Structure 1
Amino acid sequence: MQTPNNGSELDRAAELLDGKLISVLTGAGISTDSGIPDYRGEGASVRNPMTFQQFQSSESFRQRYWAGSHLGWKRFAASAPNGGHSALAEFERRGLSNGIITQNVDGLHLRAGSKRVVDVHGSIDRARCLQCGQYFARTPLAHKIAALNPWLEESDSHTLNPDGDAEVHDIDSFVIPECTVCAGMLKPDVVFFGEFVPTRKFQLASSLVDQSEALIVAGSSLVVNSGIRLVERALRKNIPLIIINRGETKADRRADLKLDGGASAILEGLLDRLPR
């Protein structure tokens, strides 16, 4: 991986973080090196994600979402953590970080070895029944979907989206899985547009920021409300704020330091400059 041409900025970041307990907020930009696309980064296509209201109200919307989510999950499951995920796991191992707050649903932080991860937007590797509340692991559910819809397995050319969805158009014959407990409506355990982040999740995320002495934002444009609220929390504490992202974010002007570039290479370079 190419090292970013900003050695002096990395040195400055290390100075700001030296001796401080760090909390980390990550977005889709940290997973691009794992082959997962970014919503809003440079070159990202414009999308209109399905809302929770659409999902609830229409069987055709649920068919489209579940077909795409099934294919997207298969791609997510085949993705591997990259150097940025590994660097943050090492942050935690060395005692430099008290945890990660991620807006991603891909589960790659946990697979990289991080132990304390708050997935504020949920995780694509599980589903929940909206009627009885039963949770289901995604792997056996995927086997069921494949058995119900063998035609869907024949193509792997669908476009992957960063929320674990994929573009599928011929969905009229798709059979939607249902809860095996109560035959209720299943939904991937992720926060849709039009939903709120669960209160408990946001409280856990806020507690990490409250207990930290610095905040790193890696790979997020901070457009989503949950992210900017956590940044505001850090700013009220007057702790150092370092932003790592390709392109602009909503908090660049308020950060102590903005590093413009790929999250993986920059986090790896920063780790090399921090104490073992």
Structure 2
Amino acid sequence: MTKEASKNIAKLLKESNYAVIVTGAGISTESGLPDFRSQGGLWDGRRPEEISHASKVGTDEFRDFFTKRLNDAAEHKPNAAHRLLADWEKKGLVQSILTQNIDGYHKAAGSKKVLELHGHLRYLTCNGCGRDYDVSKFTVEHSDACLDCEGTVRPNVTLFGEELPHLAWSEAIQEARKADLVIVLGTSLQVWPFNSLIDEAYQGGNAARIVIVTESETPYDGIASIRLHDKITAALQAVNEYLV
């Protein structure tokens, strides 16, 4: 990232009245967490809409896949980018974070206003009676049978074939519409309806400025005020030098 770009992003943050951060897998891969879609990622050579589909709950393939996800999320930790965003929130520079990620790293790093729109891996829930379970039921016991009913225990994530949680999604839309600045970090913005949040912000009453920092191309590159293909941690650290 050039000094000029760093200064410009810092200036946008300082001048913004309502800055919203939008994050995807790219911010967590810098913690060492495998992503879904890139070459060599968890989906490489496989069809995610089949492995992580609601119809697969209760199958060995589904349980094995999410056991790996749970183990990976526990093995790795939030990185400097997560911590910087939490610090910016405390300083009033960032108002909310809207994330596709299910690893929970934003909250673990100290961010308070986080909408985990695709769910989280902090605990499991029976899809029958709603009883919550520790993740060890998958990772240690290798079981998804509920102890109270005939339901199946599963992670609290939105699967293919399911709608996003209504209340969280409605809140996310409101956050996007209030934004006058959106900084996109580590998502290719390919997944609908999550990517429509950019439209809500850009076309909203505050006509949000869009900053995109991700290595892959996105469908929204053309409307970005600043477009960078840098590593996220390095980019945020460079911006932070002009915020202190």
Asked if structure 1 preserves the Cα contact closer than 8 Å seen for 2:123 and 2:156, the reply is yes
**TM-score in terms of structure 2 length:** 0.89
Asked if structure 2 preserves the Cα contact closer than 8 Å seen for 1:29 and 1:41, the reply is no
Larger radius of gyration: 1
Matches within 5 A, 1:206-245: 206-237=173-204, 238-245=207-214
Deviations 1:198-232 (A, max 9, x none): 11111121222233321111000000113321000
Q: Is 1:16–2:17 an aligned residue pair?
A: no
**Partner residue in 2 for 1:193:** 160
Supply the distance in 2 between the matched residues of 1:269 and 1:51 (Cα, whole angstroms): 37
Supply the distance in 2 between the matched residues of 1:213 and 1:235 (Cα, whole angstroms): 8
**What fraction of aligned residue pairs are identical, expressed as a percent?**
30
Q: Give the letter for the 1:196 counterpart.
A: E
Asked if structure 2 preserves the Cα contact closer than 8 Å seen for 1:41 and 1:246, the reply is no
**Partner residue in 2 for 1:258:** 227
Q: Is 1:131–2:128 an aligned residue pair?
A: yes
Offset at residue 67 of structure 1 (A): 2.2
**Partner residue in 1 for 2:102:** 105
Matches within 5 A, 1:74-89: 74-89=71-86
What SS class does the counterpart of residue 95 from structure 2 fall into? strand
Q: For the structure 1 residues 107 and 39, does the alpha-carbon distance in structure 2 shift closer, same or farther, using more than 3 Å as the test?
A: same
Deviations 1:177-204 (A, max 9, x none): 2112213112211111222211111112
Asked if structure 1 preserves the Cα contact closer than 8 Å seen for 2:214 and 2:232, the reply is yes
Supply the distance in 2 between the matched residues of 1:23 and 1:12 (Cα, whole angstroms): 16
Supply the distance in 2 between the matched residues of 1:6 and 1:39 (Cα, whole angstroms): 29
Supply the distance in 2 between the matched residues of 1:39 and 1:6 (Cα, whole angstroms): 29
Supply the distance in 1 between the matched residues of 2:163 and 2:220 (Cα, whole angstroms): 22
Q: Give the letter for the 2:73 counterpart.
A: F
Supply the distance in 2 between the matched residues of 1:204 and 1:98 (Cα, whole angstroms): 13
Q: Is 1:119–2:116 an aligned residue pair?
A: yes
Structure 2 unaligned blocks of 5 or more: none
Q: For the structure 1 residues 42 and 6, does the alpha-carbon distance in structure 2 shift closer, same or farther, using more than 3 Å as the test?
A: farther
**Partner residue in 2 for 1:267:** 236
**TM-score in terms of structure 1 length:** 0.79
Supply the distance in 1 between the matched residues of 2:40 and 2:224 (Cα, whole angstroms): 24
Offset at residue 68 of structure 1 (A): 2.7
Supply the distance in 1 between the matched residues of 2:215 and 2:203 (Cα, whole angstroms): 25
Q: Give the letter for the 2:140 counterpart.
A: A
Structure 1 unaligned blocks of 5 or more: 150-175
**Partner residue in 2 for 1:48:** 47
Offset at residue 110 of structure 1 (A): 0.9
Supply the distance in 2 between the matched residues of 1:72 and 1:226 (Cα, whole angstroms): 23
Alignment RMSD, CA only?
A: 1.9
**Partner residue in 2 for 1:162:** none
Q: Is 1:202–2:169 an aligned residue pair?
A: yes
Supply the distance in 2 between the matched residues of 1:265 and 1:241 (Cα, whole angstroms): 19
Q: For the structure 1 residues 187 and 208, does the alpha-carbon distance in structure 2 shift closer, same or farther, using more than 3 Å as the test?
A: same
Supply the distance in 1 between the matched residues of 2:89 and 2:228 (Cα, whole angstroms): 21
Supply the distance in 1 between the matched residues of 2:38 and 2:235 (Cα, whole angstroms): 16
Supply the distance in 2 between the matched residues of 1:80 and 1:64 (Cα, whole angstroms): 26
Q: Which moved more, 1:121-130 or 1:23-32?
A: 121-130
Offset at residue 236 of structure 1 (A): 0.7
Aligned residues: 237
Q: Is 1:183–2:182 an aligned residue pair?
A: no
